[in-house]
Amino acid sequence: MRLEDRLGEQAGERFLIGRDLVLDRQDERAWLAGRPLVLGGKALALLEELMRNAQLLVSKERLFEVGWPGQAVSDAVLTTAIRELRRALDDPARSPLWIETQHGKGYRFLPAVEARAVHPGLRDAGKSPPRSDDRTGTGPKPRARILLAAVLVLAAGAALVWTIGAGPAAGDETEESQVLHKSVAALPFRAIDEDASDLASGLDEEIATTLARTPDIQVAGAGVIRQVAEAGGEADRIARDAGFGHILTGSVRTEGDAVRVTARLTDTATGREIWSERFDRPLEDIIALQEDVAFAIARAIGSVMDPERLREMTRIGTRSVEAYRAWRAGRELVDRAVTNSDPALMDEARAFYAEAQRLDPQFARAHWEAAYMELVTANTIYSDTADIASDTERRKRYIGHIEAAIAAAPSDTDRLLYRAAREMADLNYRQSVRYLEDYLEERPGDEDIWYSLLEQARIAERYDLVEKAIEKIVADTRSAGAYPVIGTNYMAHNPRLALRYAQEGMEEAPDYTALQFQAHRAFLIAGKRDTARRLLGRMTRGQLPRSVRDGARIRQLCADGKTGEAQALARSLLADKELPLVVRWSSALTAGLDREAAAVLAPLEGRDAMFTLAQFLIYREFDAGQFPDLAAALARSGIDRPPPEKPSYACKVGAGAGTS
């Protein structure tokens, strides 16, 4: 019996659940691993139809009936809507986990689906699912922020964004007019045919990367783009009200061995087309085509960058189409591995990166991404103590990739970024920070690297740069129509900053669970125990993993002086050997179980594990002196790390407490 038929028999089954995807049929909303998805009404309707017929082929004709009843529309409209779903689900068309294409016939939703009357993140049937006040969604997903896998919310200071649909930050009239003049809402390029879908996705990514890096152009975030895309005849007004002066639209079509890209810019003040261009290339020149399109759009918007510098910035770094495709495949696998906390995908990604490097040894991006992967797999989210023995080999691979990227860097500015990464391998964080500062002088719009600066400045004890990075990330993300989720452990040195961040976040995105987790800690840092306690009550009804909720409960219990309860809960986490080291260590230390916390990391002592241990340096409570090699390396780099300092909300117990 089809799920659709079962739904007809089971009244009130409001939610469809496939793996960690939840669709609310009543309120027309969806979540993936607890985070709201940015989806328009058409895409949601198609997703519901596909989930109701899970693992069955749904014809294109049926999907047209669902999405565009009684309308005569082209296949390109359906293709674009499916692409929107794939982008939200981070689902590559060539190796799908969610939606499979049957060329010329239709689409299939791959996971099994069950129907429930109650949202899976809620305990009581009478409660409503998390509300978003029509501000749900995720913004762009830069690589520096992908590390917010569910448990990493607890473990580290990674970040994500919450789309709020807000316009630019308030400013004086002159600043406002400048933002409107050189700003753009870049809508996804429309694939005219199915074969153009991957090309359109790659083009979207390159355009977004180029425009975001261009210092004098402001780019809209996912929330604004969704609103503009759904606004129809009101698109210009919606974009203008959000503070954006241009709308970029375009299409991609393949014809045999050729590809045609058409791009258009309209002025949101007048609604008139101010620029359009058609680009025709053979498929073998797709990389040059992507660079040319990105360059032309930046120039059309009005960037005053030197043309040679702008052209330099658009370079992808390879002319091998096959190397580029292998690099993108590896990148997609790493994204999925980190998002889903699935280390098994890392080996597959490594193979794709190796293939990209074999096809083009001078492809700096491929070396850079391969190095990033080695850094991620050193994190104890993805490795356990049995794997630490591989640290030496992992570090060698990392350095080899970075040095290859330095040698092949397409520009001096890119080389600054790669040199920063090389210094980090030797724990020379002060020099790494200097390189990142120089890089951001050239490319202040590269949001990923502001997150890198935030982390490395924290380790280098440069709190002036920590606060500068936080202010920049918040301002830029809000101006793009989103709100960032930043690890509030970076704000422990400044309770006022933590409080302001938490208050603003809870005002703009009060029901986003990842933001709630960080705001809860920020309220405790600021001494607002009652506010934190009320927020915790809401958090426990959400979709956060149990270990994450328990981590927040331990914080609150300690702040309320309930040390015994906090320690009992922390011991239950310590007993769960499936949890990452950093989670068990942090929970024990917060609860005052100092000896147990030290024992969690004891297997790393006396081993070549500095690459793994470096992840703990973002925590003020981490005692680097427990590891002589690590302490000596920090001293050589000129970092005078102060004595470990627990969070202000940690349980207060006597010295030596925590023996079992």
127-168 pLDDT, tens per residue? 344 433 333 333 334 443 333 333 333 344 444 555 444 343
Specify the DSSP class assigned to residue 394: H
Is residue 289 in a domain?
yes
**Encoded amino acid at 335, one letter:** D
The domain boundary, picked from 314, 343, 377, lies at: 314
Question: Which CATH number characterizes residue 244's domain?
Answer: 3.40.50.10070
Helical ranges in 560-657 per DSSP H: 563-574, 581-590, 594-601, 610-613, 628-636
DSSP label at residue 153: H
The answer to whether 265 and 184 have CB atoms below 8 angstroms apart is yes
Query: Phi/psi of residue 62, each to 5°?
Result: -65, -40
User: CA geometry: angle at 399 spanning 390 and 624, to 5°?
Assistant: 65
Alpha carbon distance 90, 325 (integer Å): 17
Single-letter amino acid, residue 70: G
Q: Which of 305, 284, 281 has the alpha carbon at shortest distance from 295?
A: 305
Convert 458-522 into a string of H (helix), E (strand) and C (coil): HHCCCHHHHHHHHHHHHHHHHHCCEEEECCHHHHCCCHHHHHHHHHHHHHHCCCCHHHHHHHHHH
- Whether 70 and 201 share a structural domain: no
Are both 182 and 84 inside the same structural domain? no
The whole-number pLDDT of residue 658 equals 46
The residue from 96, 116, 136 where one domain ends is 116
Tokens of 347: 């080996």
Residue of 591, 581, 578 whose CA lies nearest to 653: 591
Q: Are residues 303 and 220 located together in one domain of the fold? A: yes
**Does 214 lie in the same domain as 104?**
no
Q: 21: domain CATH number?
A: 1.10.10.10
Residues 191 and 285 in one domain: yes
Residue 109, beta-bridge partner list: 99
Total domain count for the chain?
2
For residue 607, what pLDDT is reported? Answer: 62
Q: Which pLDDT score, from 0 to 100, does residue 316 have?
A: 77
Tell me the CA distances in angstroms from 70 to 28, 62, 63, 231, 322, one per residue in order.
Answer: 22, 12, 12, 20, 42
10, part of any domain: yes
Q: What is the pLDDT of residue 176?
A: 41
* Token output for 237: 């007004």
DSSP β-ladder status, 21-24 and 29-32:
antiparallel
Both 210 and 283 in a single domain?
yes
Same domain, 293 and 180: yes
* 101 inside domain: yes
Token readout for 17 is 């659940």
Beginning with the edge strand found earlier in the chain, give each strand of the sheet holding 99-102 in spatial order. 57-59, 106-109, 99-102
Element (H, E) at 115: strand 114-116
Residues in the chain predicted with pLDDT less than 50, given as ranges, are 1-12, 122-159, 163-179, 382, 384-386, 389, 655-660
- 35: which strand partners? 32
Hey, CA dihedral for 291, 296, 298, 303, is it positive or negative?
positive
User: What is the SS3 string spanning 290-348?
Assistant: HHHHHHHHHHHHCCCCCHHHHHHHHCCCCCCHHHHHHHHHHHHHHHHHHHCCCCHHHHH
CB 216 within 8 A of CB 297: no
Residue 388: inside a domain, yes or no? no
In a domain, 12, yes or no: yes
Residues ≥6 apart with Cβ < 8 Å to 109: 18, 50, 51, 53, 54, 55, 58, 98, 99
C-alpha span between 148 and 141 (Å, rounded): 10
Check residue 96 and give its pLDDT. 83
In a shared domain, residues 110 and 184: no
Residue 421 forms part of a structural domain: no
Asked if the structure places residue 98 within a domain, the reply is: yes
CA–CA dist 294, 299 (Å, integer)? 9
Single out the residue in 257, 289, 314 at which a domain terminates: 314
Q: Is residue 234 part of a domain?
A: yes
- Say what the pLDDT of residue 483 is: 82
- Note the pLDDT tens digit of each residue in 289-316: 888 888 888 888 877 667 777 777 677 7
Domain range enclosing 74: 3-116
pLDDT for 140: 37
- Six-digit token string for 490: 């970076």
Report DSSP state, residue 268: T
